[in-house]
Amino acid sequence: EAGVTQFPSHSVIEKGQTVTLRCDPISGHDNLYWYRRVMGKEIKFLLHFVKESKQDESGMPNNRFLAERTGGTYSTLKVQPAELEDSGVYFCASSHWTGAYEQYFGPGTRLTVT
């Protein structure tokens, strides 16, 4: 069974540009989560999809971030326009059940905004 995959693994963009991150969850997992780790600090929740619906987006920092999950399969996270403080590692995770169950994480996308 393939794990959670994320693309790209690393992205370097200039302030003001747009970047789109992609996550492919484990097949059959309805729940998809986005998290972010900034500057070696804690991993922070961004949002949660159940299939194609946003279940919880309380962690999204501002309206420069847009997440979609068309068809309930893969998800994209777009940052537009990117700011310096958006730099960090963006993790995607998926789980089969909704609720407090173990989540399987992807390798992350390292975003550097210069």
Contacts to other proteins by CB under 8 A: 4, 31, 33, 35, 40-45, 48, 55-56, 58-59, 91, 93, 95, 97-108
Tell me how far, at minimum, the Cβ of 81 lies from other proteins, in Å: 27
| CA angle 8–12–15, rounded 5-degree value | 130
The Cα–Cα gap between 101 and 49 comes to: 15
Q: Is 18 exposed, middle or buried (0-12, 13-18, 19+ CB in 10 A)?
A: exposed
User: CB of residue 66 vs other proteins: minimum separation in angstroms?
Assistant: 19
Q: How far is the CB of 101 from other proteins (least distance, A)?
A: 6
- Closest to other proteins by CB, 8 vs 16, is 8
The phi, psi pair for 88, rounded to 5°, reads: 160, -170
Distance CA 6, CA 96 (A): 18
Which CB atom, from 57 or from 68, has the smaller least distance to other proteins? 57
CB 47 within 8 A of CB 76: no
Nearer to other proteins, 73 or 98 (CB): 98
Nearer residue to other proteins within complex by CB, 53 or 73 = 53
- In whole angstroms, how close is the CB of 103 to other proteins at the nearest point? 7
